[in-house]
Amino acid sequence: MNFKMSKSVNLSNVRAYNSKVNKIDYTYNEETYTPNSNSQANIENKYLETKNINTNENLQITPEEAMNIGLKQNRNSVAGIFENNEIASNAAMAAGGFANGVGNFGENVVDAGVTGATVLATPFTWLYDQFAGTNTTEEMWSNTNAFVAEEHVNNAFEDFYTNNEIGKAMNENASEVMQYGNAGYNTAVGVGYLTATVASAGTVSHVSSLGMASSGAAISGTAGFGKGTSDALNNGATTQEALIAGGLTGLWEGGQWMFGAKIAGKGFTTVALDTGSGAVDPIVRSGIQMIYNDQGFVETLEQNGGVEGILSNAAIAGSFSALGEITTFRKNATSENTISPKTNYKNASDFFEEARGQNNNYGIDQGVFRKLSPLDEAYKNVRTYLLDMGFSRIDTLEIMTTINSTGVCSYAEFANEIMNTYKNSPTEFERIFGYPMYTSSGQLNDSQLLMDLYVFANNTDNGGRLFQPQDNTIKIVNHDTSNQSYYWHGLRYEKNTKLISSFLQSKDPNLTYEVEYLGHRSENSIGNNFDAMTGEPVLDNFDSVTGEKILYDTNNLKARVDTALSDNQNVGMTIWPPKHTGHITLHGMADGVKDVSTSQWDGEDGHAIFVTGTNDQGIIVSSWGEQYRIDWKDLEFSQFSIAASTIK
C-alpha cells in the first residue's frame, strides 16, 4: 500500500482559503466611542471598559472582541511553546501526520460509501427521470462527485499549518524532513492510515465470520476505492473513468493486503516480498492513472516520483514489513539458540521437569489460557485451530475464555498421558495428531492438545452436548459448561474409556487404550456392615462392631504405582472432598506454590491429576501445571481412585 503523498507542498505557494467575515468599523475619538449601529439604547450593556496600555486612556470594546483578544492571546501562548523548540515541533508534526493519516482513511471509506450508495440509487432515480422528465440522476452524481473530489481532511490540515498561528509555529519550527508534505510527515501519515486500517479490520473480524486477512482486504479495498475515485475526479476524470480507476485501486490495495497476510511470518522472505510490492506500487498506480490523465506512462510515473519514488516506496514498505516481522526474527533467533527437545527421557518425572519451558509448567495446566497473551504462538495456534474448524470469532473467544474457569482437569490429566506416551517420539506425535508436539520456541504444544480433546469430547457427533457441527461450520449450542463431558466418570471411579478410545482412533484407527485400576477408596460404598446398636447400615470404611477406621494399605498401593511407572505406564488419579472421612492435601513442592486441600472444596466434584512418581512421604503429581506431593497418610482414610493406562 502506498503511503507516500503524490506531491510535496511548498507552503509559500499554498492557496489561501477565502472566507467572508463580517467586520465592524469602529470610530474612535478622544472623548467618546460610537458604534456603527442604529440602536443606542443598549450601549451600556454591550460594551466593556478597558484601558489602552499605550495611551493610558479608557476604551470601550464589545464582549465578543474581548473574547477574540483572549483567544488570540491563548493561541499566541500555545504557539510560543514551539518557538525555537525543534523537538516539540517534530513530535507535534508527527502526531499531526498520524491524525492526518487516520482522517484520510476515514474520508476514503466515507467517499466509497457515498459513491456506492449513489451507484445503488442510480437505477431508481433514472426510472424516475424517465417518467417525470427530471434530471435527478445527473444532479445526484454531480453532488456526489463534488463531495468525493473534495479533500476535506487534507484541506483542513493544510489550512491549519498555513493560516493558524499554532499550526504555523509547529510547522516552521520543525526540522525540514518533518514539515508538512515532506518525507517524515508523510511517513507519519502512512502510519496513521495503516493503524486505522488494522484497527478497522480487527473490529470487522470480531463482529463477523471473516478472518483478519479477509476483513483487512475488504476494509483496505473499500478505502482504496474511495481514494482512487477521489484522485481521479480531482484530475478531471469523467464519472465512468473515476469509477473504473476507483475499482482498480480498490482491487490493488485489497490484493496487497491479502498478499501481505499470506506471506506474513516468514521473516526476511516476508520483508523482501513486501519491499518488492512497495516498489511495484507506483508503477501500478501510474498505469491506473493513465485511464484518465491522457499522458504517457513515463510522464505519469515521473509525476508519481519516478525511479526515486519507486526506491522510496520500496524502502517505506520494507521498513514497515521489518517492524511487523520483529516477532518472527526473535522467534527464529530463539529457535536457533534453543536446544532441541530431548528424546531419551527415562520417566514422566524427568520429562516434566526438563520440559518446563518458558511458562515453567510441570505438566499441563488446565488454566493455560490465563497465562497466554493473544500474541503468543500457542494462543494463535489454538485460535486458528478453532477458526479453521468453523467456529465464529465470537465463539472462539468464548471457548478460550470459559475453558479457564470450568472443570477441565480430566482433559489435562489425559493430555498429560498423551504427552508422556510420546515424550521420546515427537515425530510420531505430529504424524498422529496433525500438529507439532512443540512450538517453534521449544514449548510443549499442550494448549492445542487440550483444546483438541475438549472440542472432540463435547461435539454432539461424539456424544457431547456443547458443540454442534452444521454444514462447514460448528457452533456453540449449549453455553452451560456443567453439561460438558469428562474423561473420568467422577464418583464411579472409572475412566471414560469409550470416549478416550474414540478420540485416539479419530487420530489413528490402530491406536488402543488399555486401563488397569490400581486402587480406590470411597466413603459412599455401603457394604453389609451394620451398626451393632441400631442395626443401621454403615460406611464400610468403619468397622461395624468397634466403629474404628478401616485404613487403606498404602504400602501395597505404593508398590503398584511404582511398578506401573517402571513399566512406562501412565498413572492417573482422582481425589474427592470428604463427607465423613479424611481430606487430602496437595503440598506445593516449589517456592511460592501454596498447599491445596480437598477440605476447602465445595460440593462433590472430584479433581483429576497425573502421577509422575513416588517417594517415602507420598505420591508426586502434576496439577494445574505445578508439582505437588500427596502424603501416604492422607490416602489411608480418604476418597481417591488410581488407574494405570497404556496407549499403543
For 504-547, what is each residue's pLDDT tens digit?
999 998 999 998 888 887 765 555 555 556 666 556 667 666 66
490 secondary structure, DSSP code: G
pLDDT for residue 628:
92
Which CA distances in Å does 563 have to 557, 571, 599? Answer: 10, 10, 30
49-71 burial code (b ≥16 CB/10 A, e <16): eeeeeeeeeeebbeeeeeeeeee
Sign (positive or negative) of CA dihedral 120, 126, 129, 134: positive
pLDDT for residue 85:
87
pLDDT at 8 over 70: no
Number of other CB atoms surrounding residue 393 within 10 Å = 20
354/368 Cα distance (integer angstroms): 18
On whether the CB atoms of residues 318 and 275 are closer than 8 A, the answer is: yes
Residue 208 pLDDT class (50, 70, 90 cuts) = low
Which CA distances in Å does 452 have to 115, 199, 458, 548, 560? Answer: 46, 30, 10, 47, 31
pLDDT tens-digit map of 247-257: 999 999 999 88
Q: For the chain, what is the radius of gyration of the CA atoms? A: 37
pLDDT for residue 594:
85
pLDDT for residue 223:
93
- Greater confidence (395 vs 442) lies with 395
What cell does 184 get?
517524515
pLDDT for residue 21:
32
pLDDT tens-digit map of 210-226: 666 788 889 999 999 99
User: Mean pLDDT over residues 197-210, rounded?
Assistant: 75
What pTM was computed for the model? 0.50
Beta-carbon contacts of 64 under 8 Å, excluding residues fewer than 6 positions away, are none
Residue 153 pLDDT class (50, 70, 90 cuts) = very high
pLDDT at 101 over 80: yes
Measured in residues, the chain has a length of 648
Residue carrying C-alpha cell 488397569? 516
Closest CA to 619 of 598, 634, 599, 638: 634
Worst-scoring range by mean pLDDT, 61-70, 263-272, 400-409?
61-70
On whether the CB atoms of residues 173 and 164 are closer than 8 A, the answer is: no
Q: Which of 231-235, 404-408, 582-586, 639-643 has the highest mean pLDDT?
A: 231-235
On whether the CB atoms of residues 426 and 433 are closer than 8 A, the answer is: no
pLDDT for residue 536:
62
pLDDT tens-digit map of 457-481: 899 998 889 899 988 888 888 888 8
pLDDT for residue 540:
61
pLDDT at 239 over 90: yes
Averaged confidence pLDDT in the chain: 79
pLDDT tens-digit map of 348-386: 888 888 777 666 788 888 877 777 777 778 888 888 889
pLDDT at 41 over 70: no
pLDDT for residue 364:
81
Beta-carbon contacts of 114 under 8 Å, excluding residues fewer than 6 positions away, are 144, 147, 148
- Greater confidence (408 vs 114) lies with 114
pLDDT at 411 over 80: yes
What cell does 187 get?
511517513
3-state class of 314 per DSSP? helix
pLDDT tens-digit map of 309-346: 788 778 878 887 887 777 666 655 554 444 445 567 88
Residue 443 pLDDT class (50, 70, 90 cuts) = confident
pLDDT tens-digit map of 181-202: 888 898 889 889 988 988 888 7
436/440 Cα distance (integer angstroms): 9
Calculate what percentage of the chain has a pLDDT beyond 70.
77
